[in-house]
Amino acid sequence: MVTKNDVLKALEKVMDPELGRNIVDLNMVRRVEVEGDRVTVEVALTVPECPLSAQIEADVRETVRKLPDVREANIIMGSMTDEEREVAYAKVREGYQQQNKGGRPGVEVEPLKLGLGDVFAGVKVLAIGSGKGGVGKSTVSANLAVAMAAEGVKVGLLDADIYGFSIPRILGLLDVQPTVVDENTILPIQAYGVKLISMGNFLQEDTPVIWRGPLLIKMIEQFLSDVDWGELDYFLIDLPPGTGDVPLTIMQKFPESRLLLVTTPQETSVHVASRTAHMAEKTNIKIAGIIENMAYFVCPHCGQRTEIFGRGGTERMASELGVPILGRIPIETSLREGGDIGHPVLAAAPESVAAQVFRDIARKIVNEEV
């Protein structure tokens, strides 16, 4: 018959995806009871309403049910007290220090002194920009990141739009704060397979950010160097619209990055988007392609396709720049509704045309067709 020690030993293989340590080592397993073929496990999450709760619960349940003679696994999910949480974080800090002694790449005692070339070595960086606001750039960034993660690559997403942050809402992460391990180490939040950091996870959604340029740049630098992004294949940066300090600084910091340009079809949007493209060219950033958002609308009743914002501007810009149009995203209710309630379209409406377009773009990028 299975014993309590058998259960604990098995649970050492269950990791907290955010902290990178097993739940037994972090003292997240509060209680284990074995009654014949029935096992009860109580798990204390580091924070209430942890976005990874469902994943951890599923991993614990699967691990317990695989044990010999176990027919029923009862998993109780709770949250740590402040004292328990501090003990868990102390273990994480201790682990970082030990790893640093062994020369773990990408981790330093003082991360701000670490060059970005070391942190993001081997990572493909995609900056997602637009000339103006209101074209759905953040919606594209969030949904594209989710689509790429669904292709099996490790994706990080930086919401660099400090003034107009919106990605936490789109990914259902409002009021979720990152884990601060110590004064120099922040762990990104995770949802839908994407690691995220955003100003929106440090402030209430309606709180204005009233900062001048130097403070914005300092915050971006901290997001890049104080956040332990872990292993990534792709790093997506949702740029603020326009050609101001933040887009320019990021392009200069990542000279090997590529730009994905988001626009809507009308001439006004295309002309303004061209300015961002020309800024990228002046900083020697390659433009990977254009994503046309709000390309058309299909009536759900008669099936008629209407190009509400016109057509032709995006094709002209793509021809002038010598870059491909990677995809045309239609106006769909599911895309808007998903963004409002925190369900990306791939989760909210996986069979929709918009979801398929995002999958197609993600595959082009992952398969290095652009």
In a domain, 101, yes or no: no
Judge whether 99 lies within some domain. no
- For residue 354, the enclosing domain spans 115-366
Residue 151 DSSP SS3: coil
Residues 266-292, mean pLDDT to the nearest whole number? 82
**Of 84, 99, 133, at which residue does a domain stop?**
84
* 291 within some domain: yes
Q: Among 48-57, 76-85, 137-146, where is mean pLDDT lowest? A: 48-57
Number of domains in the chain: 2
Residue 214 pLDDT grade (very low, low, confident, very high; cuts 50, 70, 90): low
Note whether residue 105 is domain-resident.
no
Q: Highest-confidence range of 90-99, 154-163, 262-271, by mean pLDDT?
A: 154-163
Same domain, 299 and 205: yes
pLDDT surpasses 50 at 101: no
User: Is 104 inside a domain boundary?
Assistant: no
Instruction: Judge if 133 and 239 occupy the same domain.
Output: yes
Mean pLDDT of the chain: 83
- Mean pLDDT for 162-170 is 84
- Residue 243 — very low, low, confident or very high, per pLDDT cuts 50/70/90? low
pLDDT confidence band for 9 (50 / 70 / 90): very high
Claim to verify: residue 256 and residue 295 sit in the same structural domain: yes
**Residues near 238 by beta carbon (within 8 Å), at least 6 away in sequence:** 128, 137, 138, 141, 142, 157, 158, 159, 160, 161, 167
| Residue 31, domain CATH | 3.30.300.130
342 and 226 share one domain: yes
Helix (H, G, I), strand (E, B) or coil at 24: coil
Q: Do 27 and 143 fall into the same domain?
A: no
172 inside domain: yes
Same domain membership, residue 213 and residue 291? yes
Residues 208 and 327 in one domain: yes
- 95 within some domain: no
Same domain for 180 and 61, yes or no, is no
pLDDT bracket for residue 183 (50, 70, 90): low
Q: Give the mean pLDDT of 250-262.
A: 84
pLDDT at 107 over 60: no
The token duo for 150 is 């669904």
**Least confident among 203-207, 275-279, 355-359:** 203-207
Residue 109: pLDDT band with limits 50, 70, 90? very low
- How many angstroms separate the CA atoms of 333 and 8, rounded? 47
d(CA 140, CA 345): 10
Greater pLDDT, 16 or 108: 16
Q: Mark whether 308 and 184 lie in a shared domain.
A: yes
Would residue 203 count as lying in a domain? yes
Q: H or E element: which one contains 33?
A: strand 29-35
For residues 75-110, one letter each, b for 16 or more C-beta atoms within 10 angstroms of the residue's C-beta and e for the rest, the string is beeebbeeebbeebbeebeebbeeeeeeeeebbbee
Higher pLDDT, 310 or 214: 310
Please answer whether residues 261 and 269 qualify as being in contact, where contact means their C-beta atoms are separated by less than 8 angstroms.
no
Q: At 208, which CATH number?
A: 3.40.50.300
pLDDT-derived band at 103, boundaries 50, 70, 90: very low
Residue 112 — very low, low, confident or very high, per pLDDT cuts 50/70/90? Answer: very low
Segment 181-205 mean pLDDT? 81
Q: How confident is the model at residue 227 (pLDDT cuts 50, 70, 90)?
A: confident
Of the chain, the percentage scoring pLDDT greater than 70 comes to: 86
Boundary of a domain, candidates 30, 63, 84: 84
Mean pLDDT of 305-327: 90
Which stretch of 48-52, 83-87, 104-108, 337-341 has the lowest confidence by average pLDDT? 104-108
The residue from 43, 69, 84 where one domain ends is: 84
> Distance of CA 226 to CAs 106, 185, 191, 218, 241, Å?
11, 5, 20, 11, 24
Lowest mean pLDDT among 49-58, 201-210, 265-274, 345-354: 201-210
Statement: residue 324 has pLDDT above 60: yes
Contact criterion met (CB below 8 Å) for 51 and 111: no
Who has greater pLDDT, 208 or 33?
A: 33
Please check whether residues 77 and 34 belong to one and the same domain. yes
Is the pLDDT reported for residue 223 higher than 50? yes
Provide the pLDDT for residue 102: 41
- The verdict on 65 and 127 lying in the same domain is no
| 138 and 60 inside one domain | no
Range 202-211 average pLDDT: 60
The residues pairing with 187 across neighbouring beta strands, listed in sequence order, are 179
